[in-house]
Amino acid sequence: MKKYTYYKKYKNSNKLKFKYLIFVIILLIIIFLIFDSNNKNKLNISLSNLESFKISSQNIIKLEDIANKYNLIFYEMLAYYAIENNFFDDKELNIDDIEKEFIINYKNIKSKYKKKDIEPYINIVKNLIEDIKVFPIPSGYEKDYVYSDSYGAERNYGGKREHKGTDIMDRENIEGRIPVVSMTDGIVENIGWNEKGGYRIGIKSKTGNYYYYAHLDSFEENMQKGTKVLAGDKLGYMGSTGYSKVEGTKGKFPVHLHIGIELETTLTNNEIWINPYPFLTIIENKNINENKIN
Ligand SMILES: [Zn+2]
């Protein structure tokens, strides 16, 4: 009898020890998880850095080549690359450096960030890459235009402000000469005169991004609010309209197309007009390559 009680006690105390051990293990796991998630990189990116998206086009094009070579998702890679560089890289890398520094460490880089932190940025890049299917100037006019990254440059009409877009200039400076086509599928949300943009057209894509084409000389017939457009559909012709409350005013600056892109994003409730330049160069490069194949 005595022996039995002892055994029972022994058994009970072992059970207790076992429970205690499980409790300690669970606690350790929780502590580890908390520590690990705190260790993950908190994204400390200012919205103005995101907006100005100063990643060199040459590097982006190299990234795309590498993504294809390693069968990686280009938009995801570009988002991680941009974040790693705080949306600003002014040095042109050679392809070996990108492979050495970025691809080799890609898994580690990805594991540094929490999914919920990184996701809005990946979505921004993904939506832009998916939306923009063609360059806004159709093929055949490659020698007629020129553009550079002028995002953030000073503008004075309507008060001192920053240029929140890309200007594609007509080399010959002739109104109504170069056609403008929609870069994306979408629905015409705004069309007509506005003071700064002149004759402008704004198209909302299904991702919610808004694509703005300003200073047009004329609109394509039948374009109106609510019209469904496909990427490549003609919107009108390049001009120099705007900078006046008087409809039809033109010639206050050289003939060009102003492209603006307002993002749909969960990052902020304020308007974000992202720099279109890198995305224009990506699509221009792609369209030129496609035309070479065809
Ligand atoms: Zn502009």
The size of the chain, in residues, is 294
CA of 285 from ligand 1 middle (Å) equals: 21
Domain residue spans of the chain? 1-39, 47-131, 142-293
Q: What is the pLDDT of residue 104?
A: 87
Q: What is the pLDDT of residue 133?
A: 97
Q: What is the pLDDT of residue 37?
A: 62
Q: What is the pLDDT of residue 11?
A: 67
CA distance 243 to 194: 9
Structural fold of domain 142-293: Glucose Permease (Domain IIA) (2.70.70)
CA of 80 from ligand 1 middle (Å) equals: 28
CA of 164 from ligand 1 middle (Å) equals: 7
The distance from CA 237 to its chain's CA centroid, rounded to whole angstroms, is 26
CA distance 20 to 34: 21
CA-to-CA separations, 136 to 47, 233, 242, in angstroms, rounded: 26, 10, 19
CA of 62 from ligand 1 middle (Å) equals: 27
Q: What is residue 253's three-state secondary structure?
A: coil
Q: What is the pLDDT of residue 32?
A: 80
Question: Per the structure block, which two tokens stand in for 77?
Answer: 């890679």
CA of 292 from ligand 1 middle (Å) equals: 30
Of 136, 130, 120, the residue nearest 74 (C-alpha): 130
Ranges under pLDDT 70 in the chain? 1-11, 36-41, 294
